[in-house]
Amino acid sequence: MIAHSGAELTKLPVLIVISPIVSGVVSWALRVREAFARNEVYDVRLVSTRGPGDGTIRFDHTYEQPQQIIPLLETLGSGVIVPNYMWELFDPISEAIGSGKEWRILGYCRADSKKEYYDPLQKRADLISHFVAVSPACASKLESLIPTRTDDITMLPTGVYVSSDPIGPASSGPLRIVYAGRVIQHQKRILDTALIAHRLDERNVDYELKIIGDGEEEELLRICLGTQVDHGKVQFCGRIHPEQMSEVWKTTDVVLLCSEFEGTSNSILEAMGFGCIPVVTRTDSGVEGIINHGVNGLLFEIGDVHAATNHLQHLACNTEFVRKVRAAAQKTVVPFSIDRHADVLSQIFDKLMHHPPRRQQIAKHLTDRVQFRRPQQRSSVVSRCRSFLRRIRTACLGRE
Domain residues for the domain of 111 are 4-159+338-365
Query: What band does 297 get if pLDDT is binned at 50, 70 and 90?
Result: very high
Q: Which helix (H) or strand (E) element contains residue 103?
A: strand 102-109
One DSSP character per residue, 19-44 reads: -SS--HHHHHHHHHHHHTTT-SSEEE
Residue 212 has pLDDT above 80, yes or no: yes
- The answer on 130 and 62 residing in a single domain is yes
Neighbours of 219 (CB within 10 A): 10
What's the longest Cα–Cα distance across the chain?
A: 75
Quick check: is 295 in a domain?
Answer: yes
End-to-end Cα spacing for the chain: 65
The answer as to whether 146 is a domain residue is: yes
pLDDT in tens, 151-163: 999 999 999 988 8
Q: Are 214 and 326 found together in one domain?
A: yes
Q: Are residues 138 and 232 in the same domain?
A: no
HEC-encoded secondary structure of 171-211: CCCCEEEEEECCCCCCCCCCHHHHHHHHHHHHCCCCEEEEE
Specify the pTM. 0.80
pLDDT at 390 over 60: no
Q: Note whether 42 and 77 are same-domain residues.
A: yes
The pLDDT-based confidence of 379 (bands split at 50, 70, 90) is very low
Pairing of strands 42-48, 61-62: parallel
In this structure, what CATH number is given to the domain that contains residue 89? 3.40.50.2000
Task: Kindly report, residue by residue over 60-76, the tens digit of the pLDDT.
Answer: 999 999 999 999 999 99
Residue 266: pLDDT band (50, 70, 90) is: confident
Q: Is residue 388 part of a domain?
A: no
Q: Per the domain annotation, does 168 fall within a domain?
A: no
Give the CB-side neighbour count of residue 279, counting CA atoms within 13 A.
28
Q: Is 389 a domain residue?
A: no
| Residue 78 DSSP SS3 | strand
Residues 342 and 314 in one domain: no
Give 77-111 pLDDT, tens digit per residue.
999 999 999 999 999 999 999 999 999 999 999 99
